[in-house]
Every structure is written in structure tokens, then in C-alpha cells.
Structure 1
Amino acid sequence: MEREKRMAGDYEVYQALPIGRVEVILGIDMANTEKPYLVCYCSQNNLFGIDQFYGAEGFADYMEAMREFTKLLHWEIEKLQTERSAITEPMPPIQPVQCLPIRSEDDLSGRIVVIRQEWLRPEFRTSDNQLVWVTGGFGVSGNSRGRAVYAETLYSGDEYRYNREDLMGFLKPEHTPTWAAEKLAQRQAEKAPLKPRPRGEAR
């Protein structure tokens, strides 16, 4: 069976290189006589995990398009390097032996879970990207038929969509790094409901 073409609008995706949180796309539409080459970004971090193309620019010349393509890649690499340099402590990846398995009946809402290394892109296979706080989704309930799990990265607070099978387990308490315990306490304090003032208390 013929493989379905991946399209960015009218352009067939010719090159797609994942880097950081995006893909850099080069598309070709030879029916477009003025600008047959397209360079843009693509992200799938949305509710349905579908392609979202943005930042598109058309080119008449292939070499000009390739120069723009490589320039966007270089920018994303620089952003990753800047992010890494801001992290001053080691972030070794979390291994399966450090986790308790997630059972089908476990409810995940409001819990800290570990993302499988193989789900993450190579540049993100570190503990600061693996530890996430589950916030919702049809896959969080025990024995649910749903798969979607929405979570915030514990270190940065960035929001992502996962499937339940992307989760490796619950981190064993003895393997919890100091930074993770501090981040969790901070986030719990931020999300705690404010206590009402007693009547008559000065504002």
C-alpha cells in the first residue's frame, strides 16, 4: 500500500528534522512556479498531537531554502545549549530500576510520574525532563479506556501531552533528587487554595 504523503499545506514534506521541541520542515510543491520550496517549523504539542505548522517562508531557489533550513536548526541548537548551561547540577536519566511500576488500576491525577527515556528525543533524556506532575486527561483514571495524560514538567513547568504507556513508573522515594523535592514543595504551595480570612480581619 502506498504510503500517505505528509503535507504542510500544499507542500509535500521533503525533510523533517526534529530538534528541541519542534521539527524544522522543508517542503516542496513543484506546481508552485513562484516559490516551490517552503521552510517552516512544526509542533505536535497540542491536545490531539497533530501537526501544527508555523513560521512558514517560501523560496524560489532550493539552495536559499536549504540555507534557511540549516539556520533554523542552528538557532534551535543554540537555544538548547543555553538551556543546558543554566542547569548547574547533574541530571542523570532515571532508570526503570529506580521506579515502581504503574498498574492499570492506579489513578495518576496529581501524582509525580517518570517518562520513559525512549519517548523523549535524545537531547531531552535527562531527569529534569522525565519527572512530570500529572494534571489531567482521559488516561489518568484507573482502568480507563483513555490514553491521553496531560502533565507539567516538574523542573520547568512546561506542559505536554503523553499517552499512559509513555510513563515508566513512580519514582521510588529513595531516588528522589533534592531539586525534585524542592520543586514539588514549591508547586504544591503555589497551587494550594488560599485560606479565607476570619471575618473582621484587617486587609
Structure 2
Amino acid sequence: MAQEKRVVKGYEVVQAIEIGKVEVILAVAEQQNKPYLVCYCTRQNLLSMEQYYGAESGNDYLMAMQDFTERIQDEVAALQQERANLLLDMPVLTANECYALTSEANFENELLAIRPERLRPEYRAAHHQLVVAIGGFGMSPHSRGRTVYVRNVYSGKEQRWNRDDMLGSVKPEHIPRWVQQRLEQQQAPEKKRAQQRVDAR
């Protein structure tokens, strides 16, 4: 069975490289006045929907290819800078550092690690793995739903994963020192709002 062609804005995708938070795309539509298109695609939203932006079209293939490769190089440079800015050791967390999750496990408010193989190679490190479950049917062991909404401990950003993407709950002796500070920072606004509601009564 022939694989369905991927089309972006009427252009057929011929090259696509996932790097960092984006996918860099080169697409072609020979019938267009400007047959070559370069753009970004991201799925950094809670529904993991494809969102395209930064589209540039032209009639010179070599210029389009140069644009395509330069965008990839820019993403690599940004990732290298991100790594250089980390002041903490961020080793990858494996099954050895986690308690295995059972079929009866409830994820609510658990400190969990995402399976490294579910992350892109450039993101296989503790600050991308460590999350706290905050919602979704997948938190409960007997629910039909598998979606788990989490908050990344390091960045504070909310993400959407599936129940089987979770490696396990992190053993106390392997929880990095920075985790507690980050959790307190993220919980502070919630505690403040709760106190304001109490004071307003």
C-alpha cells in the first residue's frame, strides 16, 4: 500500500528534519510560480496538532535548500546554547532510577520520569524527563483514556503524554537537588490564590 503523500499549503513534502522543538520542512509544487517552500512545523501544544509557520517560497531550488539547511543549523546552535547554559548535571534517567509503574498505579501528583526512548535524542536528559501529573483520564489505572497532562518540573510548561510513555516514579535517592526548589516555585502561585480565597471569606 502506497504511503500517503504529506502536503503543506499545497506543496508536497520532500525533506523533513525534526530537531529541537520543531520540524524543518522542504516541500515542492512544480505547478506553482514559486515551486519550493521551506517552513517550520511544531506540535508543541496540548493536542499535539501540527502547526506550520515561517513559510518562505521561491523559484530557486538551491536557495530553498540553503534556507532549509540554515534553519536546521540554527536549531542545532540553539540546542547547544541551551546545554551550555545548564548549570546542573542532567543525566538521563533510566529504569534503575525509578520504581516501575504497575497497572494499578495512580499518577496524581506523582513525580514521574518519561521514558527516554519516547523523547528525541537531543532531549534525553533529566530536565526534559521529570514531570508531575496534573490531569487526564490516563492518571487513573482503570480509565479507558490514556492521556496524561503533566507539568515539566524544570520548565514549568504543561505537556500531553500517554500513560505508557511514563517510565516510573523516581526513587527518592535519585531525585535531583533542583527538583524541590522548582516544585516550590511552581506551587507558590497556587498556594497564594488559595490563601486569597480564604482571606476573602
Structure-to-structure mapping, 1:1-203, within 5 angstroms = 1-32=1-32, 34-192=33-191, 193-195=194-196, 196-197=198-199
Q: 1:198: how far off?
A: 8.1
Aligned-partner SS, 2:70: helix
1:13-38, CA deviations, whole angstroms, 9 ceiling, x for partnerless residues? 11110111110011111121x11111
Measure the CA separation in 2 of the matches of 1:194 and 1:138: 29
**Structure 1: tracts of 5 or more residues without a match:** none
- Contact 1:45/1:161 (8 A) holds in 2: no
**TM-score normalised by structure 1 residue count:** 0.91
Percent of matched pairs sharing the same residue: 45
**TM-score normalised by structure 2 residue count:** 0.91
Aligned-partner SS, 2:113: strand
Change over 3 Å in CA distance of 1:198–1:59 after alignment to 2: closer
Measure the CA separation in 1 of the matches of 2:15 and 2:23: 10
- Contact 2:112/2:167 (8 A) holds in 1: yes
Aligned length: 198
| Alignment-mate amino acid for residue 28 of structure 1 | V
Q: 1:156: how far off?
A: 1.1
Aligned-partner SS, 2:173: helix
| Alignment-mate amino acid for residue 76 of structure 1 | E
CA RMSD of aligned residues (A): 1.6
| Alignment-mate amino acid for residue 8 of structure 1 | V
Measure the CA separation in 1 of the matches of 2:200 and 2:62: 70
- Contact 2:39/2:53 (8 A) holds in 1: yes
- Contact 1:152/1:160 (8 A) holds in 2: yes
Measure the CA separation in 2 of the matches of 1:8 and 1:162: 25
**Structure 2: tracts of 5 or more residues without a match:** none
| Alignment-mate amino acid for residue 187 of structure 1 | Q
1:94-113, CA deviations, whole angstroms, 9 ceiling, x for partnerless residues? 11011112222322232221
Measure the CA separation in 1 of the matches of 2:127 and 2:11: 36
- Contact 1:147/1:163 (8 A) holds in 2: yes
Q: 1:55: how far off?
A: 1.2
Aligned-partner SS, 2:96: helix
The structure carrying a bigger helix percent of its residues is 2
| Alignment-mate amino acid for residue 23 of structure 1 | E
- Contact 1:151/1:161 (8 A) holds in 2: yes
Measure the CA separation in 1 of the matches of 2:135 and 2:37: 37
